[in-house]
Chain A
């Protein structure tokens, strides 16, 4: 890609990334949440890869990283759900943290935690799918 595209993408990607984090963190207050925010975050990475080209980075190493992140994040969601069986009301998927005040950023118990980990999971898995397709294409052309 040309220098103009690369420079614009560099400027934009950070803002897109920050917006994704905003959507995830406000998931329990405003529309959106883990899934929507995760897709936006993955979008910022995909933008960079598209602008700078696949030879810029080591694709297989990146793919290992995203797979690992994805599995760790979904495992964290499961562990938070299982923690509900040990503390509090001892029920699977129990909301075991204090609920807080309605409308504040730190409130709603464990729901923001679920949102954060679901966000990481969705971002990593969409990136994994994208990378897998790119790697597949590179292998075909070789």
Chain B
């Protein structure tokens, strides 16, 4: 696996530039280049997840060996957690791109779409693989700038307004992150995540350390749309073209926000209980406020966007519970359970939320509206869309046997075992409200009385769109297999071990 690591970044970058060059001569070049690139990436990421087996692989770019035990080059690090997130990015990316083949043909200059899409995937792969903070920042900017352009792809009034808001808040997030990185470099004299832990860990200046943690928490919190920083998300995610909404909501907020937060707070900082309590509070707030903002929405994509905030709250909450328990040093097995629940929910959310956005796109493609009040009776007219969206709605509401049930169950069990009874109760209540709002979505879109006079125009969407939705629907069912202990031990447990084991990551990378 080791020599293949740079391909995750080099292949999509090459795809992005080739698309523009070939696009000058062939009209459909972007479509085929993009599909080929994402197919390769999806295959390599599945291969990586299957073969990594709990190892931590470090790739030194340019072959720069450490001097006196201090890493001087750029490191790319691949472990089980990275491999899982890479799988999410590239598989969801591939399916969203298949969906785009017909969906995007209603816009002009398709080749730019595929080029930007490849750039965004390259940026996210880079964020996930990078082993030092500055490269995380660089790739974060690549992914963010590509996504700003993609949100505005329709160049309508609404999309331009959304992308402006997104750019301003995204720029603010980048500023906070860069400031935090600067403060780290000032004290630690290094940017390698593993090396920072050694350099800062011995005698941290308490105030300086807390300021850095807060800066990075708010910077990446803005990227992840945790509740006080969520203002950009509903606009940006609802006005982007649907495959892009699926990528933003299903993948980008995880790869650029949650993944980096988890990585730096577990592998770079020493977990302190104050920050852990703060993170848990933010998670609980996002969960509750997100769902209450969602339930009153009548625009499908806005409703889904607010639910993203709420579901990300579950992930942050459970990871926070794990951090509190680890900081206290009590019940390490419950902490492991809580973190595994969070990461399981992260994977599940990628499957069902991107599926829901693709469903919303399919509905908009045929009916031309996103308003729930203007649709109805679509279940007979669009059977594939209707059935897949039913699966996804039940998954997100936590109904067995779909995947969302198992991850929410693990999170709630972990909260009860860790004696956080109130948080467990909130998680259950939020899940019930989620169910209510998705029943509303199902009823108004698919089962209500049909809108009179339009039955002839509305039919099932073209095959590529149905294909992506059906595969994601199958994934929603199959991912519940991760709850079986043997399969969990293969994929999830080694990923948790990298995070909870204080020595494994640092010592492997520094070669100690």
Residues of chain A touching chain B, judged by Cβ–Cβ distance below 8 Å, are 64, 67-68, 71-72, 74-75, 78, 81-82, 84-85, 89-95
Q: Does B62 sit at the interface, judged by CB under 8 A?
A: yes
User: Which residues of the partner chain A approach B3 to less than 8 Å between Cβ atoms?
Assistant: 85, 90
CA distance A64 to B14 in the complex (A): 19
CB <8 Å contact, B18 and A85: no
CB <8 Å contact, A92 and B6: yes
User: Which residues of the partner chain A approach B63 to less than 8 Å between Cβ atoms?
Assistant: 89, 91, 94
A83 to B: closest C-beta gap in Å:
11
CB <8 Å contact, A92 and B17: no
Sorted nearest first, the 4 A-B pairs with minimum C-beta distance are A92-B6, A93-B62, A91-B63, A71-B17
CA distance A56 to B62 in the complex (A): 46
- CB-contact partner of A93 in B14, B20, B61, under 8 A: B61
CA distance A71 to B18 in the complex (A): 7
User: Which residues of the partner chain B approach A75 to less than 8 Å between Cβ atoms?
Assistant: 14, 17-18, 21
Q: Can you report 19 residue pairs joining A to B where beta carbons are below 8 Å apart?
A: A64-B24, A68-B24, A71-B20, A71-B21, A75-B14, A75-B21, A78-B14, A82-B14, A84-B62, A85-B3, A85-B6, A89-B63, A91-B60, A91-B61, A91-B62, A92-B6, A93-B6, A93-B62, A95-B62
CB <8 Å contact, A78 and B13: yes
A137 to B: closest C-beta gap in Å:
17
Identify the closest chain A residue to B62 (Cβ): A93
Number of interface residues of B (CB under 8 A): 15
CB <8 Å contact, A92 and B21: no
User: Which residues of the partner chain A approach B17 to less than 8 Å between Cβ atoms?
Assistant: 71, 74-75, 78
CB <8 Å contact, A92 and B18: no
Identify the closest chain A residue to B6 (Cβ): A92
User: Which residues of the partner chain A approach B6 to less than 8 Å between Cβ atoms?
Assistant: 85, 92-93
* Beyond known contacts A74-B17, A92-B59: 15 more, CB 8 A cutoff: A64-B24, A68-B20, A68-B21, A68-B24, A71-B17, A71-B18, A75-B14, A78-B10, A81-B10, A82-B10, A84-B62, A85-B6, A91-B61, A93-B6, A93-B61
User: Which residues of the partner chain B approach A74 to less than 8 Å between Cβ atoms?
Assistant: 17
- CB-contact partner of A92 in B10, B14, B20, B24, under 8 A: B10
Given the known interface contacts A71-B21, A85-B6, the answer about A92 and B13 at a Cβ–Cβ threshold of 8 Å is no
Instruction: Tell me the number of A-to-B contacts counted with CB atoms below 8 Å.
Output: 42
User: Which residues of the partner chain A approach B18 to less than 8 Å between Cβ atoms?
Assistant: 71, 75
CB <8 Å contact, A72 and B10: no
CA distance A85 to B60 in the complex (A): 12
A109 to B: closest C-beta gap in Å:
11
A108 to B: closest C-beta gap in Å:
13
CA distance A124 to B21 in the complex (A): 14
Identify the closest chain B residue to A92 (Cβ): B6
B1-20 interface (Cβ within 8 A of A): 3, 6, 10, 13-14, 17-18, 20
User: Which residues of the partner chain A approach B13 to less than 8 Å between Cβ atoms?
Assistant: 78
User: Which residues of the partner chain A approach B21 to less than 8 Å between Cβ atoms?
Assistant: 68, 71-72, 75
B215 to A: closest C-beta gap in Å:
28
CA distance A91 to B59 in the complex (A): 9
A81 to B: closest C-beta gap in Å:
7
CA distance A90 to B61 in the complex (A): 11
CA distance A95 to B59 in the complex (A): 16
Identify the closest chain B residue to A81 (Cβ): B10
Identify the closest chain B residue to A94 (Cβ): B63
Q: Quick one: CB contact mask for B314-353 with A, threshold 8 Å, 1 for yes?
A: 0000000000000000000000000000000000000000
B25 to A: closest C-beta gap in Å:
10
A62 to B: closest C-beta gap in Å:
14
User: Which residues of the partner chain A approach B14 to less than 8 Å between Cβ atoms?
Assistant: 75, 78, 82
User: Which residues of the partner chain A approach B24 to less than 8 Å between Cβ atoms?
Assistant: 64, 68
B131 to A: closest C-beta gap in Å:
14
A20 to B: closest C-beta gap in Å:
23
CA distance A95 to B62 in the complex (A): 7
CA distance A92 to B24 in the complex (A): 29
